[in-house]
Amino acid sequence: MKKSLVIGIVVVSIIAIAYFGFKGFYNGMVKAEEQVNAQWGNVENQYQRRADLVPNLVATVKGYAEHEQSTLEGVIEARAKATQVSIDPTNLNEQTMAQFQQVQGELGSAINRLLVSVEAYPDLKANQNFLDLQAQLEGTENRIATERTRFNESAQKYNALIRSFPTNLVANMFGFYAKPYFKSQEGADKAPEVKF
């Protein structure tokens, strides 16, 4: 009788330990994945902020820079592409991240080309609306960089968690997969040329 009671207690103890250990691993991965998803939302918010500033920028420049029609159209087209790409954070992978970065990079390049073309219009450069928009764009670009860094940090913590033993066993059973990182754009390692 005592022997079966001891065996029963041992079996129940092992089941309880396995249950609470498994539960802890699973819940830890869910929390880490939710942090990555929330951080992705912050990244998208900042990109949306930039996209929302573009129509005001284009309208302000349009009044002064009539000869820059192709540049303005390029910005509008790039904005349209960038706002059409929507990614579900639960399905982030290298391919979707690369697609997202590509269209956002195209919009950033188009905005930069527009800002460079503005140099030929001293009246526009002195316009307070333009200066305010330029400052807002600069602030938004800084926010984007910050949120991308935070996303990468949360993705790194999540990826390390799901790849660590024994959590990786639970991760594989329940379909927790590594999240991709934001990467620098091609040529970002080279300083831009400044010509006067």
Task: Write out pLDDT tens, residues 147-164.
Answer: 999 999 999 999 999 999
- What's residue 189's pLDDT? 46
Model confidence at 186, pLDDT cuts 50, 70, 90, reads: low
DSSP string, 104-124: HHHHHHHHHHHHHHGGG-HHH
Distances, alpha carbon 187 to alpha carbons 36, 71, 115, 121, 164, in Å: 27, 22, 19, 28, 34
- Within 13 Å of residue 12, how many CA atoms lie on the same side as its CB? 6
Q: Which residue has the tokens 């991308």?
A: 148
What's the rounded mean pLDDT across residues 30-42?
94
Three-class secondary structure of residue 164 per DSSP: coil
- pTM (predicted TM-score): 0.80
